[in-house]
Amino acid sequence: MICRSYPKRRAIRGASLLVLSMLATAAHGQQAETPAPQDDRNADIIVTAQFRSTNLQDTPLAITALTGEQLADRSFNNIADVGRAAPSVTLRLASSGYGKSTQAYIRGIGQTDFNFALEPAVGFYVDDVYHASLFGTSFDLLDLERIEILRGPQGTLFGKNSIGGAVRLISQKPRDRFEASIEGTYGSYDRIDLRGMVNIPLVAEQLALRLSFASKERDGYVDRVDFACAYPQLAGNLTPTVSQHGNSCKLGTLGGESVRAGRAALRWTPSSDIEVNLAAEIIRDNSEGAADSLIYINTAATALVNHNNNRLIPAYGIPYDGRFIVDPYVSFASYDSKFLGREVPAVNTVHSESYSGDIAWNITENVQFKSITAYQKFNGRFTQNANNAPLPVALTDNIAGFEQFTQEFRVVGTSFNDMLDWAAGVFYFEGDSTLGGGAYLAASNIGFDQNDSTHAKNRSAFAHGTLHLTEQFSLTAGLRYTKESKSYRFDRVNVPAGTPFFAGGAFTSPEAEMDRVDYKIGLDYQLTDRVMVYGQFSTGFKGGGINPRPFTPAAAVPFGPETLNAYEIGLKSDLFDRLVRLNLAAYHSDYSNLQLSANGFDNNGAPSIVIANAGSARINGVEAEMEIRPARGLQIDMSASYTDFKIKDLGAAAGVSGGPTLDSKAPGVPEWKYNAGIQYRAELGNGGSLTPRFDVYYQSRLFNEWTNNPRAAEDGYALANARLTYNAPDEEWYAALSVTNLFDQFYYVNRFIQSGTYIFTGQPSRPREWAVTVGRRF
């Protein structure tokens, strides 16, 4: 009994210390001798998380919102950076085996795998258009008004069920005035960024056009080296493919970027009651292979021992072993599986096109109709030499394609003399994907080319309302019905034989179908004009799918949805004449039918990857966010979170080789997470202003898969960024010097146990980098 209650006591004690620490900091801020003027108090941030514009502090939800200016101040360059500023949130770029994806976890719930057979646990929305796959979510922060991160299940409002939470990117809309900007950045690894915007009013107060563009170029930071050239005495019969030049045997690099993006937005307001927004965005990302390096090789594994003795040593005179682990910033990957006759380029690309249109019509003064129509398509290729060596052991090639159509209709209104705010609507999604390329696992005598495809549909209807019982007290309730389906066709051919991979040839798996009702009920009470408390209960789910990596048809089976019952209480406050903003939230979630994967071997010794619903877990957590403006020009912001994830029941996964245990912690979820930033704007009179800023981020130990293998875990680490910004007196010219990873902290962004479980790889962190930015606003 004592042992079981300890995590709860630890969570309560941690939450108490967290709250007391922040309240003490707030009290210190109150003692400032000179009160900040009105324009130095915490500004109102308007969000649209409930389909209407509301003050962030008056919205009874756990939301982190950052404006475009705040993103720049923190030197955030992509969506993965933004996760550092929000409690209970992990956003990280995927490893080389998962392509241009953002692996997102909120409050202990997330998704690592990009495969289209699986549903994201955290929803990504760009201007309210749902992005149905993790692949393609490594968004650049192009001309954004703000980002909103909503924590907790979003089952009753947003376009598609998001069990963990939602990340919303809201772009700047065209405006009825001319404006433009241009910005250039030069930095480490020959980084050259260029971005700009022009806003043109075509017809006064009726039609405006906004054009935005971005270009990024940066060399890779992991060297890809010819092993036989660099270490001839250890290379056996391998022959160099490059001639040594000086001390260099480089074949190239990994982790380099080459991206072009453009966006056009047209806003038409033919009358005061109608607004039409059309947008088109094109991205051409031709980056080289993602950074990847060897961490560990289990040379005692039976499959590897056999491969070394029977194939590698006879052919090359050396085994695959620890000689290929020399430096996390060096890879000996050749991207060539000689035994299976496959060689692939070292690439990590995505080409996307997105088109959307929304129509807002004020039917009456209190009722608005909105239609959001969108079409997206993207394709890309990402490869991984999983053994990071010139010896053929494991090579994967993914050629992904996806297209989706979404349609949403909403009606939002206010009734009964402003006593009821309500929203209702329907949502439709249809998506098709393809996955080509193949897997070439020489050590397991498996090699195949593939031409798989997926088809998915989602239809839902929702209603949501807030009843203002008194001026201070409100009741919120919501309901959503969802019906969805997914099918997967497996079409694979053995390499080099050319025979069908599956006995009987290509086949389509049984369709995964389900329907679901989610609901929410909440109360909020305005204690004062600047202090609100709230409580809510909500449900959510993550759709089912089909096991996408079977080695026999019998393993290509559907699995069901995950479900969540979530309880939350919170406080939102502006204290001491709005000099201090303190938001707190505590939650308890009952998490059922977890979609767990087990990587291992089947009874015939072949690699086996199985995904199945298993057992349940409970998640407890506490979150705090604070902003302080103790004096003119001085701003301090911080957040912290504690997450306690505990598996209660493994169900069918109990005892499965390569599966989780009752002691397993959820992957991608650090127990503790903190960030803090401080900046001071020093006015230089007629010389403009100078603003130094310093940020620090910490996360505790993080596991990367359900077995919690310590070699695949990342110990806690802290990162620091610094930025110095100069603004000219007229605010038109500006310049900034930024340094990321200021103290050159090394860590792995992610770690991965390759299929077969004897190769451990990881994406090493970017080292300390500097950049100089110069911009002009017109």
Which domains are present in the chain? 2-220+255-292+333-777 (2.40.170.20)
The token pair at 120 is 């994201």
Give the pair of three-digit tokens for residue 344.
């692939």
Give, in order, the Cα–Cα distances in Å from 312 to each of 317, 332, 464.
Answer: 7, 16, 63
Q: Are 545 and 532 in contact (CB under 8 A)?
A: no
DSSP 31-54: T-SSPPPGGGSPPP-EE-TTSS-E
CA distance 395 to 405: 33
Full-model pTM: 0.90
Sheet with 222-225, side-by-side order of all strands? 250-254, 222-225, 330-331
Model pLDDT, residue 743: 97
Taking the C-alpha atoms of residue 107 and residue 671, their distance in angstroms, rounded to an integer, is: 10
Q: Is 756 exposed, middle or buried (0-12, 13-18, 19+ CB in 10 A)?
A: buried
DSSP 699: E
Q: What token pair was written down for 265?
A: 């937005």
- The DSSP letter of residue 363 is S
Query: HEC profile for 458-479?
Result: EEEEEEEEEEECCCCEEEEEEE
Upstream peptide bond of 558 is cis (omega within 30 degrees of 0): no
How many residues are given for the chain? 778
Check if the beta carbon of residue 642 is closer than 8 Å to that of residue 622. Answer: yes
DSSP one-letter string for 403-470: EEEEEEEEEEEEETTTTEEEEEEEEEEEEEEEEEEEEEEGGGTEEEEE-EEEEEEEEEEEEEEEEESS
How far apart CA 290 and CA 558 sit, in angstroms, is 31
- pLDDT for position 616: 92
DSSP 679: E
Contacts of 538 (CB under 8 A, 6+ apart): 152, 153, 155, 156, 478, 518, 519, 520, 521, 522, 566, 568
| Token pair 């992610």 in the structure block, residue | 750
Contact criterion met (CB below 8 Å) for 434 and 450: no
Tokens found for residue 11? 């969570």
Structure-token match 């995964």, residue found: 512
Tell me, what DSSP letter sits at residue 173? P
Count of other CB atoms within 10 angstroms of residue 545: 24
What are the φ and ψ backbone dihedral angles of 684, each rounded to 5 degrees? -105, 30
Is residue 662 a contact partner of residue 647, using CB atoms and an 8 Å limit?
A: yes
Task: Note the Cα 630 to chain centre separation in Å.
Answer: 33
DSSP tally for the chain: helices H, then strands E:
6, 48
Q: Cα–Cα distances in Å, from 406 out to 114, 314, 427, 428, 429?
A: 20, 56, 7, 6, 5
Which tokens belong to 693?
Answer: 């800023």
Helix (H, G, I), strand (E, B) or coil at 326: coil
Q: Is 11 helix (H, G, I), strand (E, B) or coil?
A: helix
CB atoms within 10 A of CB 397: 22
- Pick from 654, 642, 551: nearest CA to 612: 654
Type of residue numbered 137: T
Q: What is the pLDDT of residue 655?
A: 67
**655 membership: H or E segment, kind and range:** none
Return d(Cα 452, Cα 583) in angstroms, integer. 47
Q: Yes or no: say if 724 and 737 are a contact pair by the CB < 8 Å rule.
A: yes
Cβ atoms within 10 Å, residue 65? 20
Report the C-alpha gap between 134 and 121 in whole angstroms.
9
As beta bridge partners, residue 647 has 617
Please provide the DSSP assignment of 573-609 as one string. Answer: EEETTTTEEEEEEEEEEEEEEEEEEEEEE-TTS-EEE
CB 542 within 8 A of CB 516: no
- Joined tokens for residue 360: 């807002």
What is the reported pLDDT for 22? 39
Peptide bond into 692 cis (omega under 30): no
Q: What is the DSSP letter of 248?
A: B
d(CA 636, CA 677): 6
Please report the DSSP string for 708-763 in residue order.
--GGGEE--EEEEEEEEEEE-TTSSEEEEEEEESTT----EEEEEE-TTSSEEEEE
CB burial of residue 352 (10 Å; 0-12, 13-18, 19+): buried
- How confident is the chain (778 residues) per 10-residue block, as mean pLDDT? 36 39 38 41 82 88 93 90 94 90 94 88 93 89 92 83 92 95 97 97 96 97 95 94 79 96 97 96 96 94 92 95 96 89 93 96 95 96 94 93 96 94 95 94 88 95 95 95 93 93 89 91 96 96 87 81 96 94 97 78 55 87 96 95 94 70 90 97 94 97 91 95 96 95 96 85 96 96
Q: What is the CA radius of gyration of the chain?
A: 27
Report the C-alpha dihedral over residues 98, 104, 110, 115, rounded to 10 degrees. Answer: -30
| Residue 369 near residue 361, CB atoms below 8 Å | yes
Q: Are 574 and 581 in contact (CB under 8 A)?
A: yes
Sign for the CA dihedral angle at 18, 21, 27, 28 comes to negative
What is the distance, to the nearest Å, from the Cα of residue 736 to the centroid of all Cα atoms in its chain?
27
φ/ψ bin of 149: left (φ > 0), alpha (ψ from -120 to 50), beta (otherwise): beta
Q: Does the CA dihedral 44-47-50-56 come out positive or negative?
A: negative
Q: Are 131 and 167 in contact (CB under 8 A)?
A: no
Three-state DSSP state, 5:
helix
**How far apart are alpha carbons 515 and 527 in whole angstroms?**
40
* 237 burial type by CB count under 10 A (0-12 exposed, 13-18 middle, 19+ buried): exposed
DSSP for 500-515, please give it: BSSTTS-EEPPPEEEE
What kind and span of H or E run contains 89?
strand 89-93
- Residue 306 neighbours by CB distance under 10 Å: 14
Backbone angles phi, psi at 112, to 5 degrees: -100, -40
Name, in order, each residue with C-beta under 8 angstroms of 239's C-beta and a sequence gap of 6 or more. Answer: 228
